[in-house]
Structure 1
């Protein structure tokens, strides 16, 4: 136990610095620079150098005041990190196609537009797909995540929403780590989008911040697409490899080398849903 606590103590500061304090302090420095430069002289390096010199003199001549300002800066940095995560959660909801409230009608309309476009593209290519495989959400990321559910149901007849929490219990540590890493990439992309909003807010003081904020936003969107694709593929592959172990753990006898039968899949869904799953006629 002592060794475990010691190891956690070593790792927690690194994660804290990388995930919250570091980006917050970087934003705070950028905010100070933006306030000092303004729109008139956006690239005046001499003014930035003077600002750094005054900060150094403050530390040397009035260390107590510097400590107080440093503590306030850390508090502000942590506050901005929390705010960036809030903005990131909102961006993640939009990217995942969870459009609520007044945006819901627009989301349904755009999802229909995307589905019709996909159907026309398939028709021109002479290809057909089941309707369930066509876009169902207003965003590409939402469709990619939804496709994981659809493909698991099409292949095995299993409901991913029901199976996944139980499947997690039978996974080994290495597989869990792979899934967690894939999910962490999704969260990091959305947090980057949150920081892009915070940087864009500084454009009111310093116009180059608008360029930096847009670049961060585009980068976060690209990273989010890649991360969502990797996460969905990781979830699907986990179900592919371990669904038989789950069925066995639930008490179902499977024939070696034979795929999961539709009857067994229906029984598993019904058991996990505690009898609430409608039975096929």
Structure 2
């Protein structure tokens, strides 16, 4: 037990240093440099070194007790900043997954409806061109328009942001394919999944959370840009990286969740005592939904 607790404490300390302390110290260092240099002397490293030399020459900093207090204060500030960034990252995630503002949702829906209409027209044209010299070009055009529509959303948008629709599309696609209410079924399905599958899904979910935290760090660098403009560049690059990572993580998480239903939905049915001889069907999915909703 002692060995286990030591190992656990080491892992927690390592995780804390990686997720909170390191980025916090970096942001605080940039803040100190920005406040010291300002816009006018943004590249004057000599001025920064001079200020550091003057600070290190202070008699109070030669005391061991003072140094310990300063170090403790820095650690506390780093931890506090890290926790604040974690909370802000969770708020960013809720914003991306929210269903408001509805004006943005309506705008995305109009774009999607127009793309769907063009795709439907292309399908008609492809059907008319079947067994003609224009058949291949018409089919390629339909595939291109289908891809354009899917870049907006896989299903009709119900969220103002792409990421929210990509996650929500799993519920819609599972319902349309199996008549299975994934909101009700997911906790039960999760308990039936193999450990390696749950680990893969959990990793994808953790990457999405990490991307939202990165957005929060980007906001910190943008705030420092008010006194030192190079920090704005760092903030913009960090925000762009976070958005790209969030999209990749959302796709991975959504694909894995949908795949879990496709591959292990039958096991869920059997665990609930519902007969499912072959693949998961709409009838079986509807029976699972009725059972799990418990008349609600």
TM range (shorter): 0.7 to 0.9
After TM superposition, give the deviation of residue 123 of structure 1 in Å: 4.0
Give the match for residue 159 of structure 1. Answer: 181
Taking structure 2 as the reference length, the TM-score comes to: 0.83
Quote the Cα distance in structure 1 between the aligned partners of 2:205 and 2:51: 41
After TM superposition, give the deviation of residue 267 of structure 1 in Å: 1.4
Taking structure 1 as the reference length, the TM-score comes to: 0.87
* 1:271 and 2:294 correspond: no
CA change 1:174–1:56 in 2 (3 A) is farther
Q: Which sections of structure 1, spanning at least 5 residues, go unmatched?
A: 277-281
The structure that has the greater radius of gyration is: 2
Map 1:11-90 onto structure 2 (within 5 A): 11-54=11-54, 61-90=62-91
CA change 1:230–1:261 in 2 (3 A) is closer
SS at match of 1:41: coil
Quote the Cα distance in structure 2 between the aligned partners of 1:269 and 1:133: 21
SS at match of 1:204: coil
Query: Is 1:118–1:135's contact at 8 Å kept on the other side of the alignment?
Result: no
After TM superposition, give the deviation of residue 221 of structure 1 in Å: 0.8
Structure 1's consecutive aligned runs of 4 or more residues displaced over 4 angstroms after TM superposition are 54-60
Give the match for residue 279 of structure 1. Answer: none
Aligned counterpart in structure 2 of residue 224 of structure 1, from 243, 246, 259: 246
* 1:199 and 2:221 correspond: yes
Aligned counterpart in structure 1 of residue 258 of structure 2, from 236, 241, 254: 236
SS at match of 1:137: coil
Quote the Cα distance in structure 1 between the aligned partners of 2:209 and 2:63: 41
Quote the Cα distance in structure 2 between the aligned partners of 1:196 and 1:251: 50
Deviations 1:17-42 (A, max 9, x none): 11112111111111111111111110
Give the match for residue 156 of structure 2. Answer: 134
After TM superposition, give the deviation of residue 156 of structure 1 in Å: 2.0
SS at match of 2:273: coil
After TM superposition, give the deviation of residue 95 of structure 1 in Å: 2.3
Query: Is 2:109–2:156's contact at 8 Å kept on the other side of the alignment?
Result: no
Figure out how many residues of one structure are paired with residues of the other and give that number: 270
Deviations 1:152-190 (A, max 9, x none): 122222111111111111122211111110000100000
SS at match of 2:199: helix
Give the match for residue 5 of structure 1. Answer: 5
Quote the Cα distance in structure 2 between the aligned partners of 1:175 and 1:107: 35
Give the match for residue 147 of structure 1. Answer: 169
Give the match for residue 199 of structure 2. Answer: 177
Query: Is 1:97–1:107's contact at 8 Å kept on the other side of the alignment?
Result: no
After TM superposition, give the deviation of residue 124 of structure 1 in Å: 5.8
Q: Which sections of structure 2, spanning at least 5 residues, go unmatched?
A: 124-141
